[in-house]
């Protein structure tokens, strides 16, 4: 019955007025949610490793650390649950034609994700409230499903995004998806794996660097004892290793985009015309088919994308102007992501060298200042990365199958909704910042003697 749904022609022009606001609202909701997702993916694993150290060594310090991170996880998971629910509402509220036309193809990914979400929510309840109420082993075991569900959840959600970028598993007939094979569309898609790994490592980078940032800050403020040093060591270990791996995974992502979405790659680099031996430009601005004021590195794009210095790289002119994404937005986001990612990887290499050669963390004040900046920068890179893939796919919501303008709702009032949501999210952000600050100041000595205080705080 999907053919009954009006496609672009059927939408009243007045309704399309809000397409940009709808896109911004979606982007805003997503940008608010995705850093929380990172904590949902990575923090359970870090927590389990600290709890494992506690079980293994019996050192109370690890227990204190795990209990405090549990509180952080509880607060951030709650915020993640509700912001994620908003995203699922927006699938219908903002893009009813997208869901209405293709729900039968991609919806399965979210239906399966629902079960990951269930496992996370169930075991996070047990884990948070089971501290010192369950046996240590049972408590540790209750954390394992959370970490696993973090992986399966990202697998299924990314499978939908991979499908939107590289759709398959259906045919379009008169605007209707027929001959649908949902499992093949989502999980038989070679666009899934590089996106998944890129996001999964990003989650460890963001979580690791943000936590490390907090402890680096307390070191600069003169609050740095065994507890802070241990916490910093654990968080930084996750951050630096994933940053180094990410450099290579990011490169792999670039090559896959070059093969499957050449127009997106051309937007990354501001490549106006199809070129053999295409260059890379650092910085600069794209105008009239060229990058102006950029630093030109000849043949590098061909080399990176196809491993041949003279390879032919498709330019933006290969598709009609109406089918091109907004180049400067995509390009700026791409350069931001790659630039920050490179800096973080360099920082990681420095840490790794010092840890291997001197068996300790770096001690220079500048290192800790850089580390304070690294946390927020990793979030910027994360969001920039999603801008790259989502804006880079425009004007399509489903690449070369449905335009975003065809997907948008016909209901009005989007600016009102957007404004309300922005105000509510601002309040939420202030609240989360407040609670994290409060949690960081609660006394440390809650571990050895279980006083009433811990029960209340947990």
Partner 1 sequence: MHLYDLPLAFALVGLALYTVLGGADFGAGFWQLIAGRGDQAREIRDHSHDAMAPVWEANHVWLVFVLTVVWTAYPAAFGSIASTFSIPLFLAGIGIVLRGGAYALRAGTATPRERRRVDTVFALSSVLTPFALGTVAGGIASARVRVGNPGGSLVSSWLNPTSLTIGVLAVASAAYLAAVFLSGDAVRDRHPELAERFRLRALATGLAAGAVALAGIVVLRFDAHLLFTHLTQGVGLPALIISVLAGVATLALVWRRRYEPARYSAALAVAATVAGWSLAQRPRFLADLTVEQAAAGHNTQIAVVVAVLAGAVILFPSLALLFRLTLAGRLTGPELAAPAASPRDPIPATTARSARLAAASLIAGIGLLTVAEAGWAHALGVVSLLAFVACGYRALLPGDVEHPRPAKER
Binders in 38-67 for partner 1, by CB under 8 A? 49, 53-59, 61-63
Residue from 20, 178, 283, 444 binding partner 1 (CB under 8 A): 178
Instruction: Select from 352, 335, 233, 202 the least CA-distant residue to 281.
Output: 335
Binding to partner 1 in span 343-362, by CB under 8 A = 355-356, 360
Among residues 67 and 281, whose Cβ is nearest to partner 1? 67
Judged by CB under 8 A, does residue 188 bind partner 1? Answer: no
Judged by CB under 8 A, does residue 197 bind partner 1? Answer: yes
Judged by CB under 8 A, does residue 434 bind partner 1? Answer: yes
If phi over 0 gives left and psi between -120 and 50 gives alpha, with beta otherwise, what is residue 400? left
Judged by CB under 8 A, does residue 419 bind partner 1? Answer: no
Quick one: tokens of 254?
């670039």
Residue from 171, 296, 369, 438 binding partner 1 (CB under 8 A): 438
Judged by CB under 8 A, does residue 254 bind partner 1? Answer: no
Residue from 16, 31, 132, 346 binding partner 1 (CB under 8 A): 132
**Euclidean distance between CA atoms 163 and 300, whole angstroms:** 29
Among residues 286 and 425, whose Cβ is nearest to partner 1? 425
Stretch that binds partner 1, among 3-11, 275-283, 310-318, 397-405 (CB under 8 A): 3-11
Judged by CB under 8 A, does residue 173 bind partner 1? Answer: no
Three-state secondary structure call for residue 293: coil
Judged by CB under 8 A, does residue 245 bind partner 1? Answer: yes
- Which residue's entry shows tokens 């210095």? 309
Supply the minimum distance, in Å, between the C-beta of residue 326 and partner 1.
Answer: 26
Judged by CB under 8 A, does residue 365 bind partner 1? Answer: no
Report the length, in residues, of the chain: 458
Among residues 295 and 433, whose Cβ is nearest to partner 1? 433
- Which residue's entry shows tokens 């792999």? 252
User: How many CB atoms within 10 Å of residue 318?
Assistant: 14
Q: Report the Cα 428 to chain-centroid distance in Å.
A: 19
Residue from 79, 147, 340, 398 binding partner 1 (CB under 8 A): 79
Residue from 26, 99, 154, 394 binding partner 1 (CB under 8 A): 99
Judged by CB under 8 A, does residue 309 bind partner 1? Answer: no
Residue from 31, 220, 244, 300 binding partner 1 (CB under 8 A): 244
Which helix or strand (DSSP H or E) is residue 177 part of?
A: strand 176-178
Burial of 137 (0-12, 13-18, 19+ CB in 10 A): exposed
Judged by CB under 8 A, does residue 224 bind partner 1? Answer: yes
Supply the minimum distance, in Å, between the C-beta of residue 317 and partner 1.
Answer: 28
Stretch that binds partner 1, among 292-300, 381-389, 395-403, 444-452 (CB under 8 A): 444-452
Judged by CB under 8 A, does residue 145 bind partner 1? Answer: yes
Among residues 251 and 292, whose Cβ is nearest to partner 1? 251
- Scored b (16 or more CB within 10 A) or e, 33-66 reads bbbbbbbbbbbbbbbbbbbebbeeeeeebbbbbb
Judged by CB under 8 A, does residue 225 bind partner 1? Answer: yes
Identify whether the C-beta of residue 312 lies closer than 8 Å to the C-beta of residue 275: yes
Among residues 186 and 327, whose Cβ is nearest to partner 1? 186
Binding to partner 1 in span 267-306, by CB under 8 A = none
Supply the minimum distance, in Å, between the C-beta of residue 329 and partner 1.
Answer: 27
Among residues 164 and 291, whose Cβ is nearest to partner 1? 164
Instruction: Select from 57, 123, 24, 27 the least CA-distant residue to 383.
Output: 27
Quick one: tokens of 322?
């109406």
Judged by CB under 8 A, does residue 409 bind partner 1? Answer: yes
Residue from 312, 427, 444, 445 binding partner 1 (CB under 8 A): 427
Q: Does 395 sit behind a cis peptide bond, omega within 30 degrees of 0 on the bond before it?
A: yes
Which helix or strand (DSSP H or E) is residue 170 part of?
A: none
In sequence order, the 6+-apart residues with CB closer than 8 A to the CB of 333 are 384, 385, 387, 388, 391
**Euclidean distance between CA atoms 244 and 250, whole angstroms:** 10
Judged by CB under 8 A, does residue 371 bind partner 1? Answer: no
């Amino acid at each position: 019955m999907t053919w009954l749904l009006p496609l672009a022609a059927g939408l009243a022009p007045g309704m399309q007025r809000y397409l940009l606001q709808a896109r911004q609202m979606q982007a805003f909701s997503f940008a608010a949610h995705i850093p929380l997702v990172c904590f949902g993916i990575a923090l359970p694993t870090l927590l389990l490793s600290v709890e494992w150290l506690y079980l293994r060594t019996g050192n109370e310090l690890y227990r204190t650390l795990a209990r405090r991170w549990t509180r952080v996880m509880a607060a951030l998971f709650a915020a993640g649950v509700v912001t994620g629910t908003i995203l699922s509402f927006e699938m219908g509220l903002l893009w009813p034609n997208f869901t209405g036309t293709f729900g039968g193809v991609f919806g399965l990914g979210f239906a399966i994700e629902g079960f990951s979400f269930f496992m996370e929510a169930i075991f996070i309840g047990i884990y948070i409230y089971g501290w010192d109420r369950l046996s240590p082993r049972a408590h540790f075991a209750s954390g394992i499903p959370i970490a696993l569900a973090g992986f399966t959840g990202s697998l299924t959600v990314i499978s939908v995004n991979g499908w939107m970028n590289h759709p398959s598993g259906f045919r379009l007939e008169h605007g209707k998806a027929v001959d649908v094979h949902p499992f093949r569309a989502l999980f038989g898609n070679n666009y899934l794996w590089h996106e998944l790994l890129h996001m999964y490592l990003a989650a460890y980078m963001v979580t690791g660097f943000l936590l490390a940032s907090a402890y680096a800050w307390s070191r600069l403020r003169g609050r740095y004892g065994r507890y802070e040093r241990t916490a910093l060591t654990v968080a930084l270990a996750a951050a630096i290793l994933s940053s180094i791996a990410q450099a290579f995974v990011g490169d792999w992502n670039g090559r896959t985009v070059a093969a499957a979405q050449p127009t997106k790659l051309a937007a990354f680099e501001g490549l106006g015309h199809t070129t053999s031996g295409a260059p890379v430009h650092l910085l600069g601005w794209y105008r009239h088919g060229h990058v102006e004021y950029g630093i030109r590195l000849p043949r590098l794009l061909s080399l990176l994308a196809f491993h041949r210095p003279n390879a032919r790289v498709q330019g933006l002119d290969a598709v009609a102007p109406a089918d091109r994404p907004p180049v400067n937005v995509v390009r700026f986001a791409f350069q931001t992501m790659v630039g920050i990612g490179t800096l973080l990887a360099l920082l990681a290499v420095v840490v790794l060298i010092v840890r291997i050669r001197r068996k300790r963390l770096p001690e220079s004040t500048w290192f800790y200042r850089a580390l304070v900046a690294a946390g927020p920068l990793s979030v910027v890179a994360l969001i920039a990365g999603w801008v790259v893939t989502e804006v880079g796919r425009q004007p399509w919501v489903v690449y070369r199958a449905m335009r975003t303008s065809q997907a948008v709702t016909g209901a009005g009032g989007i600016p009102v909704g957007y404004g309300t949501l922005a105000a509510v999210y601002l309040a939420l952000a202030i609240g989360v910042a407040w609670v994290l600050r409060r949690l960081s100041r609660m006394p440390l000595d809650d571990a050895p003697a279980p006083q009433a205080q811990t029960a209340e705080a947990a």
